[in-house]
Amino acid sequence: MARTPKGKRYQTIVNAGLKLLYEQLGYIQSDILGKLRTLRHDISSASLSNIKNDKTVGIATLETAAKGIQTLMEQELDMAYDETAGNFTARNTPEWKPVVVPEKQDPANQGIKVYAEGRATVAQKTAFFADAKHELVEVGIRLNSFSTYFISQSDSAYKQHILNLLQRGVHIKGYLLDPDCEQARMYFEDRSAELETEHRSLEKIREVMQDLRSLCTQFKSMNLPGSFEIYIYQHIPYSLYLLVDGDTEEGKMMVSPYLYGIRRANCPVLEFSKKDQETLYNRYLEAYKAFTRDARLLV
């Protein structure tokens, strides 16, 4: 916890700025850390977490973070810290235009983006796969979010992005767990010991399968250049995959290892490409191929 008036002021500035950056621009912690590095006000992920959680942080680190956040708020939101209000307020700069600060990767994790707080947003996912040229693959357990995006989101927010890919000849594949296999029963029985919500997951998968069958029929009737296919597998699930052009030099993926006792939506996500992390990429690609090799087409 900040122990001096100056330290408390810096901490208030950081937390007020983070709240607005999260809410108004949809940033996550790794985004902001990358921007602070670019602004030469870099601090560690642990330090930023400690500031957010009101834990002890050195005055120099607090000052660095506060100055970086203030600069970021000025450039991207045209807001300045108001001492009286204890918050950021609009500067209303005439003819102001936002300057988006680029993100500089942490040298220790070059080429790996971490969504430490969990599942990427719809906007982040659609931006990630927008440039797919050949194939888009999502491997999950229930594919509940994948299917409900078509219903819960506006067409422009999600469905149109999928249609754009299909119209360009991109093939889309989804993989979910077979609810009738022994592996599924064992998996959810084990998970439900810590998470009661897992009790009805088998039933939920069957409901999702019906929705996905309808989607497959709908897209097939459009006679688009790209295909939309759903498969079911019979293995203990280990990771979520969102894979773009997997077997090409331009391949990239998001992966989220499933952590025991943690809701899947809260499991950290790693994003990387073959170009930046070839060894890591190939290792995950090999596992993905082995995992989906025996999957069968749903419809």
Q: Same domain, yes or no, for 158 and 215?
A: yes
Q: Which of 77, 103, 129 is the last residue of a domain?
A: 103
Quote the pLDDT of residue 30: 85
Q: Same domain, yes or no, for 254 and 121?
A: yes
Does 108 map to a domain?
no
pLDDT tens-digit series, residues 76-115: 999 999 999 999 999 999 999 999 999 876 665 567 888 8
Q: Same domain, yes or no, for 119 and 59?
A: no
Quote the pLDDT of residue 111: 79
Domain count, the chain: 2
pLDDT at 1 over 70: no
Does 129 map to a domain?
yes
Q: What separation, in Å, do the N-terminal and C-terminal C-alpha atoms of the chain show?
A: 57
Q: Which residues pair with 230 in a beta bridge?
A: 174
Q: Same domain, yes or no, for 52 and 90?
A: yes
18-22 average pLDDT score: 94
Structure tokens given for 291: 């995992």
Quote the pLDDT of residue 2: 42
Quote the pLDDT of residue 107: 60
C-alpha dist (Å) from residue 164 to 18, 171, 220, 258, 292: 34, 11, 15, 30, 26
Q: Same domain, yes or no, for 9 and 130?
A: no
The answer to whether the CB of 253 falls within 8 A of the CB of 281 is yes
214-242 average pLDDT score: 96
Residue length of the chain:
299
CA dihedral of 26, 30, 31, 32, whole degrees rounded to 10: 100
Q: Same domain, yes or no, for 214 and 122?
A: yes
Mean pLDDT comparison of 28-32, 89-93, 108-112, 197-201, highest-scoring range: 89-93
Q: Same domain, yes or no, for 16 and 160?
A: no
Please report the sign of the dihedral spanned by the C-alpha atoms of residue 53, residue 272, residue 135, residue 133: positive
Quote the pLDDT of residue 232: 97
Q: Which of 103, 131, 153 is the last residue of a domain?
A: 103
Q: What CATH number is attached to the domain comprising 234? A: 3.30.870.10
Segments in 54-181 forming alpha helices (H): 59-77, 122-129, 144-152, 159-167
Does 146 map to a domain?
yes
Q: Same domain, yes or no, for 162 and 240?
A: yes
Does 176 map to a domain?
yes
pLDDT at 48 over 80: yes
Q: Same domain, yes or no, for 62 and 207?
A: no
Q: Same domain, yes or no, for 189 and 132?
A: yes
Domain that holds residue 160: 113-297
Instruction: Note every long-range contact of 193-201, with CB atoms under 8 Å and residues 24 or more positions apart, other chains counting.
Output: 194/260, 194/261, 195/261, 195/263, 197/263, 201/141, 201/142
Quote the pLDDT of residue 197: 86
Q: Same domain, yes or no, for 60 and 202?
A: no
Q: Same domain, yes or no, for 141 and 200?
A: yes
The answer to whether the CB of 255 falls within 8 A of the CB of 243 is no
Residue 78's SS3 state is coil
Quote the pLDDT of residue 109: 59
Residue of higher predicted confidence among 19 and 151: 19
The answer to whether the CB of 299 falls within 8 A of the CB of 260 is no
41-54 average pLDDT score: 91
In the chain, what percentage of residues exceed pLDDT 70?
97
Q: Which of 70, 103, 136 is the last residue of a domain?
A: 103
Residue 252's SS3 state is strand
